A and B are shown apart, each in its own frame.
Chain A
Amino acid sequence: MATKKVTYKEAITEIEEILEKIENEELDVDELAEQVSRVSALITICKDKLHKTEAEVEKILKEMNQ
């Protein structure tokens, strides 16, 4: 659940940082593999957040009283 809390901005910032590192060839092959999976995870998190309804949020909003 902890990873779900990443904001879009944090995700994008992290992805961009990693991309920059890759572009500047600061990473060796092992680190590269690690960062590739990290970027994939971040992209998936963002896509899920954009397109998949979080039941938890819906429930809270529904139960909320004004």
Chain B
Amino acid sequence: MSDQQLSLYELQLQVKGSLENTFALPVWVKAEISEMTVNRSGHCYLDLVETEQGTDNVIARCRATIWSYTFRMLRPYFETTSGQTFGEGLKVLLQAKIEYHEVYGLSLNIRDIDPVYTLGDLARQRREIIRRLQEDGVFEMNKELELPLVPQRLAVISSPTAAGLQDFLDQLHNNPHQFVFYTKLFPSVMQGNEAPRSIMNALDSIYEYEDLFDAVVIIRGGGAQLDLACFDQYDLAFTVAQFPLPVITGIGHDKDDTVVDLVAHTRMKTPTAVAEFLISGALRFSQELKELETHFTELITDQLEENKIRLNDAADQLNQLINQLIVTQQNRLNIVGIQLANQSEVFLKAQKSELQKYTAEVKRLTNHFVIKQKHVLDFSGNKLNFIFRTQIIKNKNLLNQFNHLVKIQVSDQIRNEKKSMIAIQEKLRLVDPQNILKRGYSLTMLNGKIVKSVKQVTQGDLLETRLGDGALESTVKEISTIK
């Protein structure tokens, strides 16, 4: 075994001595604060760890102390420089004096702190979260949602007591344009380690009433610029990015945007700015509406005026056209009339001359025919003349001959007649009533008529009796007939 035997105390003293030799000067140590307590006197006790990259297994652990007089200076310095609350979960670069206590063992006495390291680490973490969100494909999701032209129904996530919330609500509800906004508060813790979980719970509640809201507003009431680390948290950023309603942030800080700001639909610096954004959106829309209305009114007025003018023009034109048409037709009619008159005259003249021509022709032909016929007639006449004359001569001769013959026959006849006449005269002398009356015969007459029968006479008639040398008158006394 060993030659030398040490008491525990002697051992501790030797360890302490060699450590003090090895770490005579303070060293810079990178570590993560896993636990932190500040006691009443202001001393700060830390539990520092180092985890294996990727597995988060603790591979080293050590206690550390910041004495109160140092802590009082270091804490504000760190917080104002890094913008982070000094506390658990932070990765820090610390200047430490290694101390070894016989009873309590190894401990680091913190003398200084370098906030730049923490900032760098946070930035790295932040980049890492952004990269993961991008890889998960959710980074742009909320931005791709369409924010309604006028988001009026707002789900507000805020701490109910925050001054920023009241400013926001006052400004929104008392806007000078009398736009209506509906707000519903979903209270949440907005600071510290609990904040991400609390905000996510609020988002879950809103999700149940998704249809009632136009957008989500996440506001944090001004004041301390610290502790935005919760807005760089992966789970919260993931939830916001994927949220089905557009998220508007007004977290109230001037520094770099948090990851939640980056994934939100719209990022405003302060709650007041969010209110302004909402009001100006409504105002823009309202003005656009007014312009449309004005434009519309003008357009309609113009259109009506134009239609009126067009109608009048059309009426005028129609009038003109009709007048023109009438004039044209009248002219045409006149021309046609004149033409007709002219043409009639020409036609008539033509017809007249034609007629005259025909008349002349007919006359000529007639003359010709007449002359021809005359000739024929003359010829025939001459012929007839000749025929008649010869005939006449012939007949004359015949007549003469006949005459002569008749003369002879007549004188014979006359002679014979003369002889018979003398004979007749002789006879006649014998039968003459005078001669008969002379010989004693008489005639009885009644009213000038010879009475041949007694039946012709009645008693009392006046009878005339003619004798050879005169006449007697007598009245009938008696009539008797011969038996």
Contacts and interface: CB of A to CB of B under 8 A. Distances in A.
B289 interface: yes
Chain B interface category by residue count = 20 to 34
Contacts of B293: 43
Contacts of B149: 7-9, 12
Interface of B: 148-150, 152-153, 178-180, 182-184, 186-187, 202, 205, 209, 212, 282, 285-286, 288-289, 292-293, 295-296, 299-300, 303, 307
Interface string A23-39: 10100010010001001
A61 B185 CA distance: 10
Given A12-B292, A15-B292, 9 more contacts: A8-B148, A8-B150, A15-B296, A32-B300, A43-B289, A47-B286, A50-B152, A50-B282, A57-B212
A64 interface: yes
A50 B299 contact: no
14 contacts: A7-B148, A8-B148, A22-B296, A23-B299, A29-B307, A32-B300, A43-B292, A43-B296, A46-B285, A47-B286, A47-B289, A57-B212, A64-B184, A66-B205
A15 B293 CA distance: 9
Nearest to A11: B289
A3 interface: no
A54 B300 CA distance: 32
Q: Please name the 10 residue pairs, one residue from A and one from B, whose CB atoms are nearest each other, closest first.
A: A8-B149, A61-B184, A66-B205, A53-B180, A22-B299, A9-B149, A57-B182, A51-B178, A8-B150, A15-B292
Given A8-B148, A61-B182, A61-B212, A50 B286 contact: yes
Nearest to B288: A12
A41 interface: no
B331 to A, nearest CB: 39
Interface of A: 7-9, 12, 15-16, 19, 22-23, 25, 29, 32, 36, 39, 43, 46-47, 49-54, 57-58, 60-61, 64, 66
Nearest to A22: B299
Nearest to B154: A61
A36 B303 CA distance: 12
Nearest to A29: B307
A8 B285 contact: yes
A62 to B, nearest CB: 9
Contact of A64 (B148, B209, B292, B295): B209
Of B153, B202, B212, B289, chain A has the most CB atoms within 10 Å of the CB of B289
Contacts of B292: 12, 15-16, 19, 43
Contacts of A16: 292
Nearest to B212: A60
A35 B300 CA distance: 10
B178 A9 contact: no
A50 B153 CA distance: 11
B179 A51 contact: yes
Contacts of A32: 300, 303
B165 to A, nearest CB: 15
Contact of A52 (B180, B182, B307): B180
A35 to B, nearest CB: 9
Contacts of B299: 19, 22-23
Contact of A46 (B148, B212, B289, B307): B289
Contacts of B289: 12, 43, 46-47, 50
Contacts of A57: 153, 182, 212
B285 A50 contact: yes
Contacts of B282: 50
A17 to B, nearest CB: 12
Contacts of A15: 292, 296
A46 B282 CA distance: 11
B282 to A, nearest CB: 6
A57 B213 CA distance: 10
A39 B296 contact: yes
Given A12-B292, A43-B293, A64-B209, A22 B300 contact: yes
